[in-house]
Amino acid sequence: MNVDDVKRTMAIKGIGVSPGIVIGKAYLFDRFDAQVPLYHLNNKTLVQREVTRFRAAVKETEIQLQELKDKLHDLGDKEPLYIIDVHILILKDRRFTDATVEHIREKAVNAEWALRITIDSYREIFDKMEDDYLRGRISDIQFVGQGILRNLAGKKRETKTDIGEGIILVAKELSPADTAQTKIDKFLGFATDFGGKTSHTAIVAQSLGIPAVVGLEKITREVTTNDDIIVDGSSGMVIINPDPEILRRYEVKRRHYQELKAISLSSARMPAITKDDFRVDIGGNIEFVEEIPSALEHGAENIGLYRTEFIYINRDKLPTEEEHFSSYRSIVGVPGLAWTTIRTFDLGGEKFFSDPKLGREMNPQMGLRAIRFCLKEIELFKVQLRAIARAAAYGKTRLLFPMISSVEEIRQAKKIFQEVREDLISEGSSLGSDIEIGVMIEVPAAAIIADKLAKEVDFFSIGTNDLIQYALAIDRVNERVTYLYEPLHPAVLRLVSQVVKVGHDAGIRVAMCGEMAGEPAYTLILLGLELDELSMTPSAIPRVKKIIRNSTLEESRELLKKVMTFSLSADIRKYVGKYMRGRFPEEFLING
Ligand code: PEP
Ligand code: MG
């Protein structure tokens, strides 16, 4: 595919009303939405004819609603029935129909236009209501109005009965009637422009357990049918045309989310302490600030990784310092989170989402990415660093630099941060005084010189996604080589083991924030490696914590010692898999 054909990634925030993550193809539900015409009627006969036409359309709408109600009743789908009753009551409400007839007569206009005037006057009244639920009920009137408009135009409702697999419904708003007629249970998820927590979409989605995000305002304008789309009903984010990296990450999130269904969240906030008293701090990885509530709910004790590059999605212009600040401010000092680790942007290469042209490098993964990009674009880097230093005044903050491969780079980054701090002090800004500085250990060179890097920083965070990619020379988004992507490769285990040891020798904490940290099958291996912190996608936390609480450091060390004697990754995988299935049969029923 030509790079210019790559569709731009876009993230839109709405209201998550039914939790869960789905990835699929968009289907733009084109409910008949008449462009309401206006024409004047210049004699009494025409006016009378228009009134008759309007009343006939009302009658027809009522018959259709009644038919729909009977159909739903036969299907045993009781939930939406009362809503259809409400729609029928509106139709029968003389104030609604009489007002429209009056507009036709008084203003000598066509029925469509008169109806629009009636609906608009209702909207004005509803808009003033304080109660969210009542305000949202304008959608019932709009729905009824659309039914009448459709009949006035002589068009039948669009029905979609042959939905394929993996389709996500995108619509302005869905009524239960719409959803009933579109074989709702075939859809993976919903994303709508309108609606709130009590909208029909929300009610129906929850009762069917289908992830949904509503109130997206412009989703129908941005999406075309067949676009790739991700709906995260937990955080309220919808991502259109995700790039391969985002897609991969959300596939992991989705899998953890599905596995989580079997586990209760009641003990999620309990600490991860082994039976022999070894504590691992468990953090959450987030991409959007909206994910904080979900991180807390799933038991995150801190934010171990905030991937700030996501601030750049759907932008033409770079974010200002204030925009950065407001994001960071909202995730720093959150009650229940011990600290927030803000990683400076990992942009460049393939990660400059907004402009694919910037990704035109032969080997973008090895290109001008992350800290390399920032050290070239110092002014842009400083904007972010200023915002982080300011936000740190509000709670414990850790600053994390990605893709460090030499002591020179970390020294340079620290120097720039120091300059930024001095500038802020001289400007009289308040800023955090105890910001810890860490490096991602994700380039093999950094792992090899970890002893030198340890002297420069307060903590390490091992990024296994990249560390594995670079150590094993496997492009992490190239599906042709995924079979070689092996976290349990002896080389990976050795690298991690060495980094932990060197970090501890230097007296600094060592975290892991790559996807490997959240795989329950690896939890004992990671315990045996004695990582101080594991940070992962929030939905992975409850299972990992549960395993830690039910094991001992001693057995984990034994397991690690044993597998370190193997030469083949396949043998390690087999051995660890068997061990974990034997020890935690309940946890590994699903994926073996
Ligand atoms: C990693 O490389 O493991 C990591 C956590 O960073 P990212 O996935 O954002 O590259
Ligand atoms: Mg990385």
Q: Please pick, among 200, 256, 298, 489, the residue that the annotation labels catalytic.
A: 200
Residue showing tokens 């690896």? 522
pLDDT score of 312 more than 90 = no
pLDDT the model gives residue 3: 42
Does the annotation count 374 as an active-site position?
Answer: no
Least confident of 80-84, 182-186, 408-412, 559-563: 182-186
Mean local confidence (pLDDT), 311-327: 86
Q: Which residues contact 24 (CB under 8 A, 6 or more apart)?
A: 166, 167, 168, 188, 189, 228, 229
| Distance from residue 464's CA to the centre of ligand 1 (Å) | 7
Q: Which residues contact 469 (CB under 8 A, 6 or more apart)?
A: 365, 475, 476, 485
Q: Give yes or no for residue 514 CB within 6 A of ligand 1.
A: yes
Residue 179: pLDDT band (50, 70, 90) is low
- Rounded percentage of the chain residues whose pLDDT exceeds 90: 56
pLDDT the model gives residue 159: 43
DSSP 338-361: S-EEEEPP--BGGG-TT-GGGG--
Does the annotation count 504 as an active-site position?
Answer: no
What are the tens digits of pLDDT across the range 435-482?
A: 999 999 999 999 999 999 999 999 999 999 999 999 999 987 777 888
- Which residues place a Cβ less than 5 A from the ion ligand 2? 442, 463, 466
Whole-structure pTM value: 0.74
What are the tens digits of pLDDT across the range 412-424?
A: 999 999 999 999 9
pLDDT the model gives residue 351: 57
Task: List b or e across 60-98, with b for residues whose CB sees 16 or more CB atoms inside 10 angstroms.
Answer: bbbebbeebbeebeeeebeebeebbeebbebbeeeebbe
Backbone angles phi, psi at 351, to 5 degrees: -95, 5
Q: Give yes or no for residue 145 CB within 6 A of ligand 1.
A: no
| Distance from residue 382's CA to the centre of ligand 2 (Å) | 21
Mean pLDDT score of the chain: 87
More confident residue, 130 or 334: 334
What are the tens digits of pLDDT across the range 12-55?
A: 999 998 889 999 989 887 654 445 677 888 899 999 999 999 99
Residue 78: pLDDT band (50, 70, 90) is low
254: tokens are 């989705």
More confident residue, 324 or 158: 324
Residue 259: pLDDT band (50, 70, 90) is confident
Residue 552: pLDDT band (50, 70, 90) is very high
Mean local confidence (pLDDT), 79-92: 80
Instruction: Among 469, 513, 526, 537, say which to mutate for ligand 1: greatest number of ligand atoms within 8 Å of CB.
Output: 513
pLDDT the model gives residue 592: 38
pLDDT score of 157 more than 60 = no
Q: Please pick, among 87, 324, 489, 513, the residue that the annotation labels catalytic.
A: 513
Residue 558: pLDDT band (50, 70, 90) is very high
Closest listed residue to residue 541, CA positions, set 238, 257, 342: 257
How would you classify the pairing of strands 397-401 and 237-240?
A: unpaired
- Rounded percentage of the chain residues whose pLDDT exceeds 70: 90
pLDDT score of 204 more than 80 = no
Q: Which residues contact 48 (CB under 8 A, 6 or more apart)?
A: none
Q: Give yes or no for residue 463 CB within 6 A of ligand 1.
A: yes
pLDDT score of 353 more than 50 = no
281: tokens are 């701090």
